[in-house]
Structure 1
Amino acid sequence: MRIPSIPGFDPEAFQKYFKNTGWLMLGKILSLIVGIFIAKFLGPHDFGDLSFATAFTAIIAAVGTLGLDSFIIREILDQPAKRDEILGTAFWMRLVVSIILVPSSVLIYLFFRNLSEQQGTELTLVVTFCASALFFKAFNIIDYYFQSQVRSKFVVQVQNICLIISSLIKISFVLVKLPLVYFAFALVLDGLLLAIGLGIIYHRENLHIRNWKFNDERAKSLLSKSWPLILSAVMVTLYMQIDILMLKYFAGSTEAGIYSAAARISEAWYFIPVAIVTSVFPAIIHARKTDPSRYQKRLQNLYDLLVVISLPVALIISLGADTFIHLLYGDKFLGAGAMLTIHIWSGIFVFLGSASGQYLLAEGFTMISFYRTAIGAIANILLNLWLIPLYGGLGASTATLIAYFVATFSILFYAKTRPQGIMVLKSLFLINIFSIVSTRLKKK
């Protein structure tokens, strides 16, 4: 893979990142393929119900993380001798919250179902199974332990093994033509398999879950530090998932299923900006300490690179959206092509948002980062309230595109970050690219 040469971009770091996470990327591709296979079998209506249930429980699950992810890693690095206490406290905190959230999720769903006078025992069971999968997420703290030891490859291997087993189970469900509820039950199996796999690799390191201890003082300390991140996680998930919920409510399951099919394709490549930003940012942060002007130049180069990558992809997918949908899903998801034509352009702002988000963290503007996410979530909800009743999935696609745009460029509202917002805006309109091309043409 040939990588563009720009100042501050380290091709070796980029290729190393891809090598280290190659199996993870293959896992994402396999997950996408199996998802398409399931969608074609279920059809728009049932796929819409499954997408609704997973989106609904994802928002609830955001609370269950307790914002502890980064704190667990930091605590273990700071106090390695207290490993069992840190992991045990975090585990029991998450487990208790999950036990509360599972029935709460079902009760909240039933409340809104009755409020909207909708019926459907099967969907209630689907939501119950999707919510039950939250119970096993408490075991994800083992992943954070391995991250703290810079040994995530073990977790990735387990994830891929579990994904292969899960994929075979789901494909077998399709082949024997089982109903929707079995695919929701498969999500519970996914959680169980991963929990077992994480437990096995933890014990292979001669470590034992039975040694974990709960400490109430540490629990209070962790919660006092992490509560803003809980709110942030909920906002991020709302930002990403609310469109499915609102489509289900205003336009029905079929429209939600068609939209979900388009969104899966549109969002399939969102790992790319993460890979690029991860490889580039160490050099950018180094420049921040040694040469402020070079720091700004490298940021501008990064924004330019992300637009140069994302813009052609958005253009190609947009022009061939109907063909892509037909090839992947067949004729069952008519209408998804038009939604994809709009939704795919959101990727440009996801790319730019990934880079500018890292800038905000590097500068310590964590509250501005939170406000930006909140602005995006609120914009998405308000736009969906307006556009979905009028245009269905097309309205949701438009709302998502505008919300991502608003969130990305909300940094223009703050004096501290306005110069950075202007830099992002210049990249969006290819001002620097045109300037470089023009200069080179004049030299010729």
Structure 2
Amino acid sequence: MKIFRFNKIALNAVWMMSEKIISIFGLIFVTSSVAKYVGPNLFGQIALSLSIFQIVQIIAQMGGGTIIFKRLSKNLNSGVLLLNATLYMRVLLYFVISIPVLVYYSYKSDYLSSIFIFATFISCFFSTLDVLAIYYDATLNSKINTCINVIGLFISLLLRWFIVLLDWEPVYLSIPIILTGFIPFVIRICIFSSIKKRVVFSKRKKIQYVKYLFKSGYNFVISDISVALYTRLSFFIISFFASKTEVGIYSVALALGNSWGFVNSSIISSFFTKIYSLKNEADSLIISAKLNLLIFVIGLIITIGTLIFAPYFLLWFYGPLYSDAYIPLVILCMSTTVAGLGGVATRYIVRHSGYSFLSKKMFFTLITSVLLSVPLVYFYGIVGAAIATFLTEFISLTLYNYFFKNRVIFDLHKSSVLFFLKVRT
């Protein structure tokens, strides 16, 4: 039974990763062509607008991702009720926050930038509603997510490729931006409706679930917003101190540097489905420690490969205008490794119901990111932005996490080191 469960977890991780592998091919062959076609300046505008509404999306979801995932893993029916009950809350929050943002940036931006901002607003709206992806991941049915996302991704990438190939005006790139969020949402709704009966529950029950998400999600939304801000803070600071051209170059480095992070998140999500259900604390510590080591080894291999091959890759696929992305890219690969280890630590803290701690920790992480990013970006530009991201992730992983509940994260890291030494001997 245990072997069967492990194989199911591993297979689920493979399905989750396969979708992202296709995304990487899109990043290499299509997004690189778009970046070449529009140039760093316009590419930077697109990246900036996407960053803005991804933050709005996170606020509107009220930290529901992790809470719904955990509830579905423990009690499927209760998780589905929570998922359905909070739909209108997400819609309302998204529009309340988005409208002022839309008005402000439409007024401050030129025509083309305004079009991309509006397209991103629509795309992220559908992504905000699309929490059914969590249902399939939590029930170890990531193959459904993969197939759906691949269809949406394929259509979006194909449209982008045609726009570049036919030399159309860049404004048409807004269409695939919208479809990126719209297509997966519609398909997921149709499939879910066909396999799951509509759940009818009282208004009182719905209010209870919304209150529960607000109460539990409050801590997570502060944490998620802090993460969203400090990972995208560099975009806003670079655009303030430098130009959208440098934002475009940095966005390429960031996209490539984070592109393999799906390996970490897929493995972590799949294994924590099991870890959350374990009753024995010692067993959960051992599995998490081994998971840490696996994440570190994967990151080390990819960082070394990036160090060797990235200059040739950037020149071939993106062109000489993006050659300055090399050094930030290497640093951001290291940062993604540390972020992966941080993902294990965060899920482990969630196992111990450390929601309040996470919100406080991520707030201090955001402050740390600001204090590091402003001087480093001011003096060292996009390289400084990458260094600030790495240092922030490292401090968040170690120093800040060690304050939690009798240093359980320190014990986790110590167990990982001891396991590594044991394997070597």
What TM-score do the two structures reach when normalised by structure 1?
0.80
**Aligned counterpart for 1:101 among listed residues 97, 107, 114:** 97
Q: Tell me if 1:238 matches 2:229.
A: yes
SS in 1 for 2:167: coil
Instruction: Please tell me the residue identity of whatever aligns with 1:104.
Output: P
**Aligned counterpart for 1:386 among listed residues 350, 375, 381:** 375
SS in 1 for 2:42: helix
SS in 2 for 1:348: helix
Verify the 8 A CA contact 1:239 1:380 in the aligned structure 2: yes
Residues 6-52 of structure 1 show CA distances to partners (whole Å, capped at 9, x for unaligned) of xx9x9746642344335423443244233223222221111111111
Verify the 8 A CA contact 1:54 1:127 in the aligned structure 2: yes
Distance in 2 of aligned mates of 1:160 and 1:12: 23
SS in 2 for 1:66: coil
Distance in 1 of aligned mates of 2:73 and 2:411: 40
Verify the 8 A CA contact 1:243 1:396 in the aligned structure 2: yes
Q: Tell me if 1:16 matches 2:32.
A: no
Distance in 1 of aligned mates of 2:202 and 2:146: 26
**Aligned counterpart for 1:46 among listed residues 39, 42, 46:** 42
Instruction: Please tell me the residue identity of whatever aligns with 1:179.
Output: E
1:384-423 alignment, distance < 5 Å: 384-411=373-400, 413-414=402-403, 416-418=405-407, 420-421=409-410
Q: 1:377 to 1:82 in 2, by over 3 A?
A: closer
What is the deviation of 1:356? 2.0
Verify the 8 A CA contact 1:50 1:184 in the aligned structure 2: no
Distance in 2 of aligned mates of 1:331 and 1:388: 22
1:29-428 alignment, distance < 5 Å: 29-33=24-28, 34-71=30-67, 74=71, 80=77, 89-109=85-105, 113=108, 120-144=110-134, 146=136, 151-205=141-195, 207=197, 217-218=207-208, 219-278=210-269, 280-281=271-272, 289=280, 292=282, 296=285, 298-411=287-400, 413-414=402-403, 416-418=405-407, 420-421=409-410, 424=413
Verify the 8 A CA contact 2:16 2:142 in the aligned structure 1: no
What is the deviation of 1:346? 1.0
The number of equivalent residue pairs is 418
Distance in 1 of aligned mates of 2:273 and 2:23: 25
Verify the 8 A CA contact 1:50 1:180 in the aligned structure 2: no
Distance in 2 of aligned mates of 1:124 and 1:60: 17
What is the deviation of 1:71? 4.9
What is the deviation of 1:95? 2.0
Give unmatched runs, 5+ long, in structure 1: 1-7, 114-118
Distance in 1 of aligned mates of 2:271 and 2:106: 47
Residues 159-199 of structure 1 show CA distances to partners (whole Å, capped at 9, x for unaligned) of 22121111111111111223333223422222232332223
Distance in 2 of aligned mates of 1:400 and 1:174: 32
Verify the 8 A CA contact 1:349 1:408 in the aligned structure 2: yes
Bigger drift between 64-73 and 247-256 goes to 64-73
Instruction: Please tell me the residue identity of whatever aligns with 2:380.
Output: Y
Instruction: Quote the sequence identity (%).
Output: 21
Verify the 8 A CA contact 1:314 1:347 in the aligned structure 2: no
Verify the 8 A CA contact 1:411 1:417 in the aligned structure 2: no
Verify the 8 A CA contact 2:55 2:228 in the aligned structure 1: yes
Verify the 8 A CA contact 1:154 1:201 in the aligned structure 2: no
What is the deviation of 1:266? 1.0
Instruction: Please tell me the residue identity of whatever aligns with 2:214.
Output: L
Give unmatched runs, 5+ long, in structure 2: none
SS in 2 for 1:21: helix
> Corresponding residue for 2:20?
25
What is the deviation of 1:53? 0.7
Q: 1:46 to 1:289 in 2, by over 3 A?
A: same
Verify the 8 A CA contact 1:69 1:144 in the aligned structure 2: yes
RMSD over aligned CA atoms reads 3.6
Residues 276-310 of structure 1 show CA distances to partners (whole Å, capped at 9, x for unaligned) of 334555776788717x3x66555444433332332
Distance in 2 of aligned mates of 1:299 and 1:420: 10
Verify the 8 A CA contact 2:249 2:325 in the aligned structure 1: yes
Q: 1:151 to 1:260 in 2, by over 3 A?
A: same
Q: 1:223 to 1:300 in 2, by over 3 A?
A: closer
Q: 1:356 to 1:68 in 2, by over 3 A?
A: closer
Q: 1:125 to 1:269 in 2, by over 3 A?
A: same
Instruction: Please tell me the residue identity of whatever aligns with 2:46.
Output: L
Q: 1:123 to 1:71 in 2, by over 3 A?
A: same
What is the deviation of 1:58? 0.9
Distance in 2 of aligned mates of 1:322 and 1:371: 39
Distance in 2 of aligned mates of 1:360 and 1:65: 20
> Corresponding residue for 1:4?
none
What TM-score do the two structures reach when normalised by structure 2?
0.84
Distance in 2 of aligned mates of 1:41 and 1:214: 52
User: Higher helix proportion, which one?
Assistant: 2
Distance in 2 of aligned mates of 1:374 and 1:55: 19
Instruction: Please tell me the residue identity of whatever aligns with 2:176.
Output: A
Q: 1:197 to 1:411 in 2, by over 3 A?
A: same
